[in-house]
Amino acid sequence: MSQSLRSFVGVLIIVSFFSCGKQESYTVGYLNPSSERYRFVSEGNYMAEKLREFGHEVVIMVAEDDDVVQLAQGYELLDMGVDALVIAAINGNTIAPLVRDAQKRGVKVIAYNRLINNADFDLFVTGDNRDNARLFCETALQRKPSGNYVVLAGDRFDRNGFELKHYIDSLLQPHIASGMVNLLYETHIEGWDRDRAQFEMQQVVDAFGVVIDVVIACNDGMGLGALEVLKKYDAHRGVIITGQDGSQEAVRSIHRGEMYMTIFHPHRELGHRTGELVDALLRGERSNNLATTSTFNGSSNIKTVNIPSVMVTKDNIEEVLIQSGEYTWEDIR
């Protein structure tokens, strides 16, 4: 064999060795906080769909809003040998030990929608709270530039809940200072929970009466809870009630002219984009090359991908939700 042929064969063997050694298929675990939160179910399913298109296996576990259960599920996935964890955290603090242990094992960690605190990890995929606050406040102020306002913000221990309220407060403050907006009441709602929001709204009515012009509720469940209280007194007509998530019940209410708007996170787009990001990380892409910004979580600046959302009112249900295939008119009417 000639020297040149021996060299060619040697190179071929080396290339073949590395090609055969390259992993093509991975296992991804998704920790979903609750089967009752439609967006996390739907977006998770779309993410799994995209990951399976890439040839990966996906294991989904649901903790039903119990952070102790979610922690145990995470360790179960680690013991199964997953290569990546996508976590929509119930509690951004108590999940941190799992994240640190995952990183020690070389498992990629992606925080989905909810920031995980005091731990370093690969990527944070979320919406844009500043823009969501703008959509809430611009809608309210355009429809009711003056009047009695109530703000039902999300869980104070969820970065989204805290951050969203911060931006809402900053946008409303000039209108409060001018005397145009009378902020009757504002509070964080633990767990973004509908029943707790309904209880708080009842306290507002008991204390201040039913002359309410705007309820900025930061998710659909809380908006629907506030609506139920106002409907008891036939005081809901003309009140601007907001929500977030584009749930079927909220969209029905908007179509009936009760709630005014919701912020919809396009489930297919979000799920598929997250699947693409996870695949890229598993195949060796650096977080720096994927991120659009970074978010400080108490210990580290986490590379972050912000994905914008869409406001839905009665006027654009057809365009945003029906034409996209998210719902049919039979689902809504």
The residue ranges of every structural domain in the chain are 24-127+266-307, 129-264
| Dihedral of the alpha carbons of 28, 45, 241, 175, in degrees to the nearest 10 | 40
- Which pLDDT belongs to residue 22? 56
Mean pLDDT (10-residue bins), the chain, 333 residues:
42 37 84 91 96 98 96 98 97 96 97 95 94 97 98 91 96 98 97 96 98 98 98 97 95 98 93 97 96 93 93 97 93 92
- Which pLDDT belongs to residue 37? 84
Give the pairing of strands 147-153 and 108-112: unpaired
- Structure tokens belonging to residue 41: 């179910």
- Which pLDDT belongs to residue 249? 96
**Secondary element (H or E) of residue 96:** helix 96-104
- Which pLDDT belongs to residue 304? 97
The third-level CATH classification (topology) of the domain covering 129-264 is Rossmann fold (3.40.50)
Please report the sign of the dihedral spanned by the C-alpha atoms of residue 71, residue 73, residue 78, residue 84.
negative
- Which pLDDT belongs to residue 296? 94
- Structure tokens belonging to residue 21: 């050694």
- Which pLDDT belongs to residue 158? 85
- Which pLDDT belongs to residue 248? 94
Given this chain, do its domains 24-127+266-307 and 129-264 carry the same CATH topology?
yes
Phi, psi of 87 (to 5 degrees): -120, 115
The pTM of the whole model exceeds 0.85: no
Phi, psi of 42 (to 5 degrees): -65, -50
Please name the residue that has the structure tokens 């951050």. Answer: 163
- Which pLDDT belongs to residue 12? 36
In terms of CATH architecture, what is 24-127+266-307?
3-Layer(aba) Sandwich (3.40)
